Chain A
């Protein structure tokens, strides 16, 4: 049974058709690369799966059930976590506070619930250790490098028991070593049975970790095939339109 199944998803913004009749499936534990040029509809697709946009037409099924993902919170509840392209971090909070934003650990004292700072810092430090990132739980995000911010955004998805993680350009703007670490993390997610949709401009990343590649062009899906049956040259041709479909 497919973990995620999109059928005929279409999204219109006024007169602009950002997505047109897109269908695909993602199996549990599968790593799928989603590629396409700017404006091809990758981000719109991600936002539909993560509950920010509602499709104009078409339907989603998640874990076999019909899914109405009307908000990011609903997506999270289903087990869909997202690393947003702009990372969605609050600069004036610490790494740990950002990771736990919206799902803080609390201690009940009478009618009040207070934050468990130490527990959250410790859990965040564990997540950073897993990611092999030199990021400290107590540091403010505004003082961090691009790579550290990325680590915070990725660590956030590891907090809960996600079934599917969407990553929108997770390797843009980070160091070479951290790209390798993020790719390793994606492999570890796969081993743990977690499916990943990787949106990336970086061809080597997609070919390094993905089993399947989906190529978008001008709002439509032009290719959906195993990595082994494709090549960077073919994907480039599909993205630019030199090749119509494959």
Chain B
């Protein structure tokens, strides 16, 4: 195979574990996750029950869609610290719109309030992303500082809009809203998990099978190469920040449906968990690496640890310490592995 392909006898074919998914940090973390789950199920008989699995699934879906979004940003070498605030903003805007439409007696057909409100929430989130993207791509501001600013600005807006009290989904479509955000398919699979799977599949196809995806990776590795080869670097960057904010916004709407409210302090400091999940799953903060599968694996790992500690009756304050240790361990394993490969 190798001889006929290149004509050189000293050029072999890479072995199966040295290429593709198996040669990624995500695969190592997945292996660690499976081991962890096996240990958990031995230690606690409650771990593998359908109720607990359903809980875990729902809980990690809460941050996983935002993690997919931030993974895109991290692949381009950027960062978005404003995702937590954006989650709160879109949840708040969605429920404010539901209340406003209720007040205005707007209800032309069943579901109309839901559609308008969710669209308003996502649009508000997209606005945050557009602001971040334009500031970073066009004005060349640092992603860290820009999104640190929007973190504060957006949270401030949420407090201003609600006077710090939080809001509640209401109106004729309230039941429908709760069903499509916090419901369960066949009483077991949380709908949020279904949305996550759809988003992840779309992201996987976009990253691996479209020119846009290759441009996202190229920008993260060598932005200049992208510019020189005719990639519209600025446009791709703006798109990535808008998608990240919209993913966070969508997550916010789902969370508010499950809580039945949109408190003004919703998702405070979630950006750290979301970034941690992305990094554990193999997104490289230096840019150029990451993927949809890794993002989800990272979220599952964090949630399984949290869940496992609760089941094992360990002081829940250990959770943060452990998640931090795993971030370092995951990056360390990747470092050792890539230095061995040369």
Q: Which chain A residues have a beta carbon within 8 Å of chain B's beta carbons?
A: 52, 71-73, 76, 82, 84, 86, 88-93, 97-98, 101-104, 106, 112-115, 117, 125, 128-129, 134-136, 139, 143, 156
Contact = CB atoms under 8 A, between A and B. Distances in A.
Contacts of B8: 134
A95 to B, nearest CB: 11
Nearest to B284: A92
Given A84-B228, A101-B231, A136-B6, 18 more contacts: A52-B228, A76-B230, A86-B224, A88-B222, A90-B217, A90-B288, A91-B221, A91-B222, A92-B289, A93-B221, A97-B214, A101-B229, A102-B215, A113-B211, A114-B205, A117-B209, A128-B6, A135-B6
B210 A112 contact: yes
A117 B342 CA distance: 26
A92 B217 CA distance: 7
Contacts of A134: 6-8, 10-11
A104 B8 CA distance: 28
Contacts of B289: 92
Nearest to B222: A90
Contacts of A106: 210-211
Contacts of B210: 106, 112-115
A139 B227 CA distance: 22
B221 A88 contact: no
Contact of B211 (A73, A115, A143): A115
B218 interface: yes
A72 B211 contact: no
Contacts of A90: 217-218, 221-222, 225-226, 288
B223 to A, nearest CB: 9
B220 interface: yes
Given A128-B6, A129-B7, A136-B11, A101 B226 contact: yes
Contacts of A129: 6-7
A125 B224 CA distance: 25
Contacts of B221: 90-93
A97 B214 CA distance: 8
B230 A103 contact: yes
Interface residues of B, number: 30
A125 B226 CA distance: 22
29 contacts: A52-B228, A72-B230, A82-B228, A86-B224, A88-B224, A88-B229, A89-B225, A90-B222, A90-B226, A90-B288, A91-B222, A92-B220, A92-B288, A93-B214, A93-B217, A98-B225, A101-B225, A101-B226, A101-B229, A102-B226, A104-B211, A106-B210, A113-B210, A114-B205, A114-B210, A115-B214, A125-B6, A136-B5, A139-B14
Contacts of A102: 215, 226, 229-231
Contacts of A88: 222, 224-225, 228-229
A153 B215 CA distance: 17
A113 B211 CA distance: 8
A220 to B, nearest CB: 27
Most A CB within 10 A of own CB, among B218, B221, B225, B226: B225
B105 interface: no
Given A104-B211, A136-B6, A73 B230 contact: yes
Nearest to B208: A115
A194 B224 CA distance: 26
A125 to B, nearest CB: 7
Nearest to B342: A143
Contacts of A115: 209-211, 214
Given A88-B224, A143-B341, A125 B230 contact: no
Contacts of B214: 93, 97, 101, 104, 115
A44 B229 CA distance: 18
Contacts of A101: 214-215, 218, 225-226, 229, 231
Nearest to A105: B211
Nearest to A109: B209
A82 B220 CA distance: 22
Contacts of B225: 88-90, 98, 101
Nearest to A135: B6
Interface in B206-260: 209-211, 214-215, 217-218, 220-222, 224-231
Contacts of B7: 129, 134
B205 to A, nearest CB: 8
Interface string B90-120: 0000000000000000000000000000000
A72 B229 contact: yes
A91 B289 CA distance: 10
A91 B6 contact: no
A88 B228 CA distance: 7
Nearest to B23: A140
Contacts of B341: 143
Contacts of A128: 6
Interface in B1-24: 5-8, 10-11, 14
Interface in B291-315: none
